[in-house]
Amino acid sequence: MSAKVIAIANMKGGVGKTTTVVSMAEALAANGYRVLVIDLDPQANASLCLAGDSLLATLIARKATIEGFLENQLLGNKKTAFTECIRNNVSNVSHLNQQLAISLLPSSPNLRHFEQKIIHDLTQRKMSWSEIIKGLSGVMGIQLTKSRKAFDFILIDCAPGISILTEVSIRLADLIIIPTIADFLSTFGLQTFCAAMADRSLAEGVKRASRRPYVLITRRRQVKIHEQTAEKLRNEASAAKPAFDVFRTEIPETVAVANALSQVNQFPIFSQKWGPVVVPLLSDLVREIGETLNVDRA
């Protein structure tokens, strides 16, 4: 099948975005799908969790990163392709005696500086914000179209907030997932963020989101405030004109999840890494994503 592009985004940090990207990538791969993760977060946490610090350092040194690709495309003379920066088979995690089919286009801490540089350089060329978005969307869109043939799912890990690359990613995605903790501070501004995805005024020809984003409740605890906020989110999603939908699946806050990310490359088997509580939930989430995007089971 042609790959489905999923952007994982949120205005706020600390809501489980990296956990969502890594766990979704591995769960999809465990279900037999070929997965590409594109890291657009300068913190590069998803890259670190998938590739490990040694391999990531090597890729950064080679400029085999998203900012290396974009710099060559937009500011340099060499026109590289995604395939020259993508590292295949980055995961050492296996399922049913097979290595998970996960590829990575990594990020690095240099990405934040690069975003500032590209905005400065292109505005110096008298390009407006809309024109920059349209140009970046064109570059990224061409490469994503080519990559769709080699993968089943492409997950884009967006930085917190609305950066220029996040703006582009949510325009190109088939589905936007917003990881959210079910509390007041984490959900404050959620309606506005979702509405902005559909209503931002951009240059003609730039794609708008074709479907409402989906909220994924993460780090769920069995406390009253989480129960009340989760119920409120589901009520808002069932309103007459909702700004978002909500997945039925909720990811709990567990020691297993914390260990899965903190002990990078220490879990050779998928079920051991995420534990008996979370693995069935990830399977449920994969099923919901497939239903949402009309994807056949691998």
Q: Is residue 151 part of a domain?
A: yes
Q: Is residue 294 part of a domain?
A: no
User: Per-residue confidence at 289, pLDDT binned at 50, 70, 90?
Assistant: very high
Q: Is residue 230 part of a domain?
A: yes
40-95 pLDDT per residue, tens: 999 999 999 999 889 999 999 988 999 888 888 777 666 677 888 899 999 889 99
Taking CB atoms within 8 Å and a gap of at least 24, the contacts of 223-227 are 225/182, 225/183, 225/184, 226/181, 226/182, 226/183, 227/182
Domain count, the chain: 1
Lowest mean pLDDT among 131-140, 149-158, 159-168, 199-208: 199-208
- Is residue 298 over pLDDT 80? no
Q: Is residue 130 part of a domain?
A: yes
206-264 pLDDT per residue, tens: 555 567 899 999 999 999 999 999 999 999 999 888 889 999 999 999 988 888 887 66
Q: What's the confidence (pLDDT) of residue 203? A: 46
- Is residue 201 over pLDDT 50? no
Q: What's the confidence (pLDDT) of residue 77? A: 65
Q: Is residue 293 part of a domain?
A: no
154-200 pLDDT per residue, tens: 999 999 887 888 888 988 999 999 999 999 988 998 888 887 776 55
Q: Is residue 22 part of a domain?
A: yes
Q: What's the confidence (pLDDT) of residue 167? A: 87
Per-residue DSSP letter, 10: -
- Burial label, 265 (beta-carbon count in 10 A; 0-12, 13-18, 19+): middle
Tokens for 165?
């690359």
Tokens for 197?
């995805």
The CATH number for 95's domain is 3.40.50.300
pTM: 0.93
Q: Is residue 280 part of a domain?
A: yes
